[in-house]
Amino acid sequence: MASPPTNLHFVLFPWPAQGHLIPMVDIARMLAERDVMVTVITTPVNTNRIKTVIDRAIEANLKIQVLDIQLPFAKAGLPEGCESFDMIPSVSYVANMFLAMKLLEEPAEEMLRVLYPPPSCIISDGGFHWTSDVAKRLIVPRIIFYGPGCFASLCINIVNNTNILGDFKSDLEYFALPGLPDCIEVTKPQASSWGKGNTKETRETFERTQEAEKAAFGIVVNSFDALEPKYVEEFAKATGKKVWCIGPVSLCNKSLEDIAERGNKAANGEHDCLKWLDSREPRSVVYVCFGSFSSTLTHQAIELALGLESSNIPFVWFVSRTSDEFEKWTSEGQYEERIKGRGLMVRGWAPQILVLSHQAIGGFITHCGWNSTLEAICAGIPMVTWPHFADQFLNERFIVNVLKIGLKIGVEVPITYRGKEKFEVMVKREAIKLAVEGLMNDEDEDEAQTRRNRAKEVAQMAKKAMEDEGSSHLNLTMMIAAITEELALKNKSIKDIV
């Protein structure tokens, strides 16, 4: 069912990180396909990353544009050209990036005040808390986009609005989060690695984000009702907000070009990788990728390499960040020569949807970022979970304990809670070998088959949600209708005053 034409103009502010930018661009295109005008405001580097996808949308006569906003590098103490979280040289610059985001308020408002037609609604990442004040001054509704799904968002809400963490002294003790439909056990670091952080800038951002949420018109989520029905309902109750699940938004990409270039240009070895996969048996290969922001230190990367090698399971490993020391180890030890024919390493950005949807892929070792989780769900691929930080440990619980389509590799402590000297090897090669074999082999046929069948069922649910008359399709329609109604009420109030 096509939506009626509208005169709406949505302005989107994606957080400058690939895991946030990518779904926000998908949302922009989905809105534009409903005859809504859309403006995406981001930094020049991020604009360049999404340029070809946006250009194709414009060529298809969608009313969509991208406007650049320049980061105040010097004022925020950032290196010149550092415009995204995956570009920061070290974690010591995270606070500087948060400060840079805060300093965008004034130039962003100036940009919005001269836009034509004027904005009807702002959809901003939760981190851009100041868009709440801007929306008030412009007298337009603001909708929040949070990166995680409703399960993780509800867990975070509970942790942030109760004293549950104060009841436990040990960082190693597991406890059940209260008020959840399922029994979910976590440790203090796993439950709190998304939130206040440990700097003045991150704490201030967190507190202002909490305040801005209270004033929001609603929350849009990259998920679908059938995936986490109890958690959609409970998250809406906990926030007191309208929650629209409109995903998995990755499924809005139909053309091969949009799928391949979603988020960035793929690594140089992309075509070789797909050709290599063409030569493998169905469901025989495990795919390894930890996203754009996660960084694996040298000794852990070596341990992962040796664990994959010893498993005797075919694998393709996309390595987004490497050290000179790791490259030297692979070269001197002739690692890639040893795995040739059974394993493949590709350095750079992965065309992840293309890889996951390839018939040769049978399993996925993932950092449990929400985008990666949803993309694996859409492809019907079971996972080995290897969380690093933020919401990833909560997503792991969702994958393993709620959906039951994954195996834990055994990571217990977020990277942000370890000193660098302690973060040498968190997962040994033997554990990696066992996890890969447990996911891919049929030794425990009943358990493995149950996991695979469940993954296929969830994939079908995802596709159905995005079809015409599917839940996500209808939720997007209702969100647009709610904004239209809100603006009509605002205009009536203005006329009554006049």
Q: What is the residue extent of each domain of the chain?
A: 9-246+469-497, 266-463
Angstrom distance (rounded) from CA 200 to CA 206: 10
pLDDT recorded at residue 443? 53
Angle among Cα 451, 434, 296 to the nearest 5 degrees reads 100
Phi then psi dihedrals of residue 263, to 5 deg? 95, -30
Residues 6+ apart with CB under 8 A from 411: 385, 386, 387, 388, 426, 427
pLDDT recorded at residue 2? 46
pLDDT recorded at residue 6? 61
Are 258 and 56 in contact by the 8 Å Cβ rule? The answer is yes
pLDDT recorded at residue 351? 86
Angle among Cα 245, 203, 92 to the nearest 5 degrees reads 100
pLDDT recorded at residue 5? 45
Burial class (CB in 10 A: 0-12, 13-18, 19+), 205: buried
Q: Say what the pTM is.
A: 0.91
Angstrom distance (rounded) from CA 298 to CA 322: 8
Q: What is the mean pLDDT of each run of 10 residues along the chain (498 residues)?
A: 67 91 95 96 93 93 95 92 85 85 95 95 94 96 94 92 82 90 91 66 76 94 97 96 96 82 59 88 94 73 93 90 84 90 86 93 95 96 93 95 94 65 70 92 73 95 95 97 90 63
Best CATH choice for the domain 9-246+469-497 from the list 1.20.59.10, 3.40.50.300, 3.40.50.2000, 3.30.460.20: 3.40.50.2000
In 151-302 the beta strands, taken as DSSP E runs, fall at 175-176, 185-186, 218-221, 242-245, 285-289
Angstrom distance (rounded) from CA 29 to CA 56: 10
Angstrom distance (rounded) from CA 362 to CA 377: 12
Are 391 and 152 in contact by the 8 Å Cβ rule? The answer is yes
Asked whether this chain's domains 9-246+469-497 and 266-463 adopt the same fold, the reply is yes
Query: In the numeric block, which tokens belong to residue 160?
Result: 């942030």
Query: Which SS3 state, helix, strand or coil, does residue 87 take?
Result: helix
> Which residues on neighbouring strands pair with residue 319, listed in sequence order?
347
User: How far from each other are the two terminal CA atoms of the chain, in whole angstroms?
Assistant: 38
pLDDT recorded at residue 293? 61
Q: How far is CA 408 from CA 34, 370, 390, in A?
A: 40, 16, 17
Residues 6+ apart with CB under 8 A from 123: 10, 11, 12, 13, 24, 27, 142, 143, 144, 145, 220
Query: Which SS3 state, helix, strand or coil, does residue 381 take?
Result: coil
Q: How far is CA 244 from CA 21, 128, 482, in A?
A: 19, 19, 11
Q: What's domain 266-463's architecture?
A: 3-Layer(aba) Sandwich (3.40)
Phi then psi dihedrals of residue 365, to 5 deg? -90, 115
Closest C-alpha among 474, 347, 346, 458 to residue 399: 458
Backbone φ/ψ region at 368: left (φ over 0), alpha (ψ -120 to 50), beta: left
pLDDT recorded at residue 271? 67
Gyration radius of the chain's alpha carbons: 22
> Which residues on neighbouring strands pair with residue 315, listed in sequence order?
286, 343
